[in-house]
Structure 1
């Protein structure tokens, strides 16, 4: 038996939020009108064919905590940067505007995870921790596929040299050089290396750079701004 895995990544178009959150902002922590965010989230749920109550949101904190969700929660999951479920038709959402959204799925075991991997969380091992929790509930590394969603690219993510070295030590493969020739970080490259080291070989990387693509939200390009959502579920 194999489950059907669905993954969706939004853009900034198609919602009701006013500038600077125009228009499909799905983040409720950026200063947007809460009614607009709620309307956008309801629109997302309807578009993917689920009730709003069956889309699980997180209050992300750039940490390394992973929550296992078995049923629709009555509110966003607090202080969490990854959620894992085995429950069909329970969609897991991560919001981002430069950080890396990581969607993991084992279609054979019926286990999925949504991970928020910014610089701090990725260096703290949030992706490896999410994988560990997936394995604990029945997934197998060789059966897991990963999608690394839109994020700031290494050519546009300049950081001090010491920071680049620090992240490289924690997440090998991340250090790079920007288009300006300065020290930079390519978190998706580092996360892909980490996943391969942990036995995950089916890795897809969305090539879009949030800073460069005006169809996407980017905190580095324009703050304040909205948040994209990357969503995964099993049917």
Structure 2
């Protein structure tokens, strides 16, 4: 599709990734038009048609997850929908797939181009360690893993309560700098991209790319905070071909 995003990161040859947008589908408002979420009260036939379009356009088999804001990581399966918030794959053509509408999608690959992973990181999952869990699905050293951070709610729009700040600072005190006091007393504006980078760096992953897009401000994307009844877009990463021996 014309306005779908191709991540800008130095992934090895044979690794492909894509982020869909709201355009190019058949769903009607407020899910207009390329909604891929089957849990948001959109017409099931419309979701099925949109998913079929995705599969055909990218020539892949998406591995859909039932996301629950946890840290469970599973092997990606195109045959079964598994309850988890991250998946990994070593199988060409099977795409690790995350659906979001403000939460942070993170895509991973190793420098060898033999494994990919994707994680869904709302603040709860991020604070609980879903990114670190995705890193641990690789046998590679953290320094040999690349991460791309996809479209998520921006720091000018992500207002949170003090409990969110405390959840991060309990294990990573340095994350205090990712929170700025809000104009509303007792609230904070959180930078989910900075939080992700800090958590990854603490785990030894420093090759981190992407960030800077705000789903709340950029109407190409669905945003739950902009309108709670909305669709979901997808961030996908897959192996197109394995490196030659």
Question: Normalising by the residue count of structure 2, what TM-score does the alignment of the two structures yield?
Answer: 0.86
Runs of 4+ in 1 over 6 A off after TM superposition: none
Q: Identify the match of residue 188 of structure 2 among 178, 183, 187.
A: 183
Which sits farther off after the overlay, 105-114 or 221-230?
105-114
Aligned residues: 225
Whole-angstrom CA distance in 1 between matches of 2:31 and 2:182:
28
Gapped regions of structure 2 (runs ≥ 5): 1-11, 241-245
Structure 1 residue 41 displacement after superposition: 0.9
Q: Identify the match of residue 65 of structure 2 among 35, 58, 65.
A: 58
Which sits farther off after the overlay, 180-189 or 102-111?
180-189
Whole-angstrom CA distance in 1 between matches of 2:112 and 2:28:
42
Kept in 2: contact 1:155–1:179 (CA 8 A): no
Kept in 1: contact 2:78–2:94 (CA 8 A): no
Structure 1 residue 191 displacement after superposition: 1.1
Kept in 1: contact 2:63–2:79 (CA 8 A): no
**1:1-235 to 2 correspondence within 5 Å?**
3-50=13-60, 54-69=61-76, 72-77=77-82, 79-135=83-139, 139-170=140-171, 172-173=174-175, 175-177=178-180, 180=183, 182-235=187-240
Question: Normalising by the residue count of structure 1, what TM-score does the alignment of the two structures yield?
Answer: 0.89
Whole-angstrom CA distance in 1 between matches of 2:159 and 2:31:
25
Q: Match of 1:154, SS?
A: coil
Q: Cα–Cα, structure 1 residues 15 and 170, in superposed 2: closer, same or farther, change >3 Å? A: farther
Structure 1 residue 206 displacement after superposition: 3.0
Q: Cα–Cα, structure 1 residues 205 and 173, in superposed 2: closer, same or farther, change >3 Å? A: farther
Q: Cα–Cα, structure 1 residues 39 and 178, in superposed 2: closer, same or farther, change >3 Å? A: farther
Which sits farther off after the overlay, 183-192 or 212-221?
183-192
Q: Cα–Cα, structure 1 residues 170 and 157, in superposed 2: closer, same or farther, change >3 Å? A: farther
1:147-181, CA deviations, whole angstroms, 9 ceiling, x for partnerless residues?
A: 11110112211112233222333455363226747
Q: Match of 2:105, SS?
A: strand
C-alpha RMSD of matched pairs (Å): 1.8
